[in-house]
Amino acid sequence: MAQLWGGRFTKETDWQVYHFNASIGFDKRFLHQDIEGSIAHVTMLAKQGILTDAEKARIIEGLNGILADVDAGILLIDEDKYEDVHSFVEANLIDRIGEPGKKLHTGRSRNDQVALDMKLYTRTQVKEVDALLKKLLEAILHTMEENLETYMPGFTHLQKAQPITLAHHYGAYFEMFKRDRDRLTDIYKRMNYCPLGAGALAGTTYPLDRDYSAQLMGFAGPTMNSIDSVSDRDYLIEFLSALATIMMHLSRFSEEIIIWNSNEYRFVEIDDAYSTGSSIMPQKKNPDIAELVRGKTGRVYGALMSLLTTMKGLPLAYNKDMQEDKEVAFDAIDTVKNCLPLFTGMIETMKFRKDRMAESAMNGFTNATDAADYLVGKGVPFRDAHGIIGRLVLYCIDKNTSIDALSLTELKEISDVFEEDVFDAVSLKTCVEKRLTFGAPGPEMMKKVIEIQKQYLQEEA
């Protein structure tokens, strides 16, 4: 056990206690961040005359050596020997370069160190998740462009409601994932302040230049209050909340794909590469990827709840409870980063059964509102038109037919306002094409929306 704090102790730590307390098993993930932070710290210390330039150079060389050796597999992170990644780096630095290594931790605490590592790590993850979302948006937009006139029923209560197009339906998901990216941008802006130099909780008496450290690591500036610096995990809660929302969106999308892929709907065919079979039922082709994405949503929500609960009772400033932020956050981040590209691949390769979708849009009275609007166009008040079409629907159900399949004579029996032009007015094509309000499915409107979204994806390069 290479501990950083043996001085005031007269007994060895109990072995079980040591393991219970240790975080090396998971914070070894911070090796790069820990070393980046240490390099910035010693660079600042040397600028302030707290270390000599020669000491700084030896320390940086030693730190880079550790990083290179771990990356090359020459140096192993021994989980039985070091309590956390910070002790691992410091102990190895001292082994390598001797005396100057002992000066690395001047004017620093593990509290501001771990706050920095977590922030550096999260900052990178925010960008990586954002890049994956962008790829998903590109795939969605591609499908939209190709399906301006692919008709399908729009649903409310999972009951057929009004006809829409696939482009329009996908456009709804485009909006969701676009907002998810906006959220990440906001989080990044708010979190991008550097906690290094806050010390254990009360700053330090060394003349640190916190602005300089912050600048070295690309932060907008240093954090304002040293107590808050070491005890704030809000940014992580915000990120987990954003990840939970992304999963909620992916899960809704997955649910629809599962429904569309069902034997009853057959709107889509998931590519063989993204489906699995059954060990007993030879006919089966299951939408496992969509189901797993839907299923994994729970653990991401769990991470958010876990961290909120960990933080809720903590007095200021640092408490060891906060070590519990890592495993749940890592799991949530890994989960989302796994789900996004797989989901994107699944929708990129999925085939649409356009005939089935149009057929489904044609029955189920999705044109009932348009039939009522037709009567309104002929001067019937909307409430009366609604009643007339209601009776018409009942008649069709009884005869097992649809509004557009009736003869003019049958229509006139219900209302003599109907004329020959009704058939065009209630055709699927007309029903969709005439929906031209901003944000509606009419292909002319959708073309404009697609242009705006294309522009957005280009600008957000």
Distance CA 58, CA 93 (A): 10
Give 1 or 408: the residue with its C-beta nearer to ligand ARG: 1
> Closest Cα partner for 59 from 76, 34, 39, 40?
39
**349, burial (CB in 10 Å: exposed 0-12, middle 13-18, buried 19+):** middle
> Closest Cα partner for 130 from 251, 246, 30?
246
Lookup: tokens for 131:
């890049």
Query: What track of x and - describes contact with ligand ARG for positions 16 through 35 (by CB under 6 A)?
Result: -------x---x--------
Q: Which of 105, 157, 241, 254 is catalytic?
A: 157
Under 8 Å CB-to-CB from 452, ≥6 apart: which residues? none
Residue 322 binding ligand ARG, by CB under 6 A: yes
Question: Where does this chain touch ligand ARG (CB under 6 A) — which range of 54-62, 89-97, 110-118, 436-444?
Answer: 110-118
Q: Which residue is nearest to ligand ARG (CB)?
A: 323
Give the CA dihedral 26, 28, 33, 38, nearest 10 degrees. 130
Residue 119 binding ligand ARG, by CB under 6 A: no
> ∠ CA 97-102-103 to the nearest 5 degrees?
110
Three-class SS of residue 269? strand
Q: How far is the CB of 324 from ligand ARG (least distance, A)?
A: 8
> Closest Cα partner for 380 from 409, 422, 408?
422
The single-letter code of the amino acid at 217 is: M
Q: Within 13 Å of residue 271, how many CA atoms lie on the same side as its CB?
A: 11
Lookup: tokens for 248:
């909620």
The strand pairing partners of 222, in sequence order, are: 194
Interface residue with ligand ARG, options 274, 318, 365, 418 (CB under 6 A)? 318
Residue 84 binding ligand ARG, by CB under 6 A: yes
Question: Where does this chain touch ligand ARG (CB under 6 A) — which range of 146-154, 260-268, 273-281, 320-328?
Answer: 320-328
Residue 323 binding ligand ARG, by CB under 6 A: yes
8 A C-beta contact, residue 93 and residue 63? yes
Q: How far is the CB of 192 from ligand ARG (least distance, A)?
A: 21
Residue 213 binding ligand ARG, by CB under 6 A: no
Q: How far is the CB of 84 from ligand ARG (least distance, A)?
A: 4
Residue 38 binding ligand ARG, by CB under 6 A: no
Query: What track of x and - describes contact with ligand ARG for positions 249 through 288 (by CB under 6 A)?
Result: ----------------------------------------
Query: What track of x and - describes contact with ligand ARG for positions 332 through 371 (by CB under 6 A)?
Result: ----------------------------------------
Residue 415 binding ligand ARG, by CB under 6 A: no
Three-class SS of residue 23? coil
Interface residue with ligand ARG, options 96, 108, 110, 249 (CB under 6 A)? 110
Three-class SS of residue 442? coil
Residue 89 binding ligand ARG, by CB under 6 A: no
Distance CA 418, CA 409 (A): 9
Q: Which of 38, 105, 109, 278 is catalytic?
A: 278
> Does the bond joining 317 to the residue before it have cis omega, within 30 degrees of 0?
yes
Question: Where does this chain touch ligand ARG (CB under 6 A) — which range of 39-47, 66-74, 156-164, 319-327?
Answer: 319-327
Interface residue with ligand ARG, options 111, 125, 261, 275 (CB under 6 A)? 111
- Total interface residues for ligand ARG by CB under 6 A: 10
Q: Tokens 């849009």: give the residue.
A: 361
Q: Tokens 């002929």: give the residue.
A: 378
Question: Where does this chain touch ligand ARG (CB under 6 A) — which range of 12-20, 109-117, 171-179, 246-254?
Answer: 109-117
Three-class SS of residue 205? coil
Q: How far is the CB of 289 from ligand ARG (least distance, A)?
A: 34
278 is catalytic: yes
Q: Which helix (DSSP H) or strand (DSSP E) does residue 153 occupy?
A: strand 151-156
213 is catalytic: no
Site residues (vs ligand ARG, CB under 6 A):
23, 27, 84, 110-111, 114, 318, 320, 322-323
- Residues designated as active site: 157, 278
